């Protein structure tokens, strides 16, 4: 049994938990500072408030999912299971989720468990450690599954100034991701707008 934090409060009930979480339950302001310019999350008194789309989803998440559906067959029924990396607030917000740390050990999923893996500005260094993180994604993806990456370094030529990084670093990062994907025998399906898709 894991003991609750000293100031832990029962989470908000759904659907209010979609938009709010108690600060004391997740006492880390770093994300609200890091994402401040995106208008995605704010600290309001003793609560986090999730404002919606921010810069990653300027037309809200539904439109973002529609964009993905234009690139891969989400609505065909062939994609039934998906994993979203970097969704740290999901549990506190009442979304079915599991905590796993890719850096320390394998994820707690069997091989070939998912039809799709997704990362939207999850800040995972996919190109580091000889591609260890992508190798783990490859392990849990079913044959023919999709890996979707949006945010840095995708579209670095357009956004590099706003990301406060230099072009050479972003190009190098994307090239390294492409190289690991090729080593895994993935093919790049498309790169459109802020999304890149491999299969």
CB atoms inside a 10 Å sphere around CB 137: 25
Kindly report which listed range (56-60, 75-79, 135-139) carries the lowest average pLDDT score: 56-60
pLDDT band at 135 (very low <50, low <70, confident <90, very high): very high
CB atoms inside a 10 Å sphere around CB 97: 15
Please choose, from the candidates 79, 83, 70, the residue with its C-alpha nearest in 3D space to the C-alpha of residue 144: 79
Which tens digit of pLDDT belongs to each residue from 60-79? 666 777 888 899 988 888 88
Alpha helices, DSSP H, located in 23-59: 30-34
Domain boundaries, the chain: 16-50, 60-198
Q: How much is the average pLDDT of 15-44?
A: 75
pLDDT, the chain, mean: 82
User: Is the pLDDT reported for residue 53 higher than 70?
Assistant: no
Q: Which residues lie below 8 Å from residue 77, measured CB to CB, with a gap of 6+?
A: none
CATH superfamily of 60-198: Vaccinia Virus protein VP39 (3.40.50.150)
3-state secondary structure of 110: coil
Question: What's the pLDDT score for residue 139?
Answer: 95
């Amino acid at each position: 049994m894991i003991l609750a934090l000293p100031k832990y409060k029962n989470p908000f009930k759904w659907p209010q938990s979609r938009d709010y979480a108690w600060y004391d339950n997740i006492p880390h302001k770093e994300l609200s500072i890091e994402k401040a310019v995106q208008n995605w999350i704010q600290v309001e008194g003793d609560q986090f408030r999730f404002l919606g789309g921010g810069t990653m989803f300027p037309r809200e998440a539904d439109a973002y999912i529609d964009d993905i559906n234009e690139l891969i067959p989400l609505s065909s029924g062939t994609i039934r299971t998906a994993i979203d990396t970097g969704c740290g607030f999901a549990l506190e917000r009442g979304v079915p989720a599991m905590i796993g740390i890719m850096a320390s050990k394998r994820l707690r999923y069997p091989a070939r468990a998912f039809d799709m893996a997704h990362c939207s500005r999850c800040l995972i260094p996919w190109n580091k450690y000889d591609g260890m993180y992508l190798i783990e994604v490859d392990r849990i993806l079913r044959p023919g599954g999709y890996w979707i990456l949006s945010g840095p370094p995708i579209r670095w030529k357009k956004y590099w100034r706003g990301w406060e990084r230099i072009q050479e670093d972003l190009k190098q990062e994307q090239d390294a991701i492409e190289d690991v994907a090729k080593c895994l025998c993935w093919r790049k399906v498309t790169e459109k707008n802020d999304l890149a898709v491999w299969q």
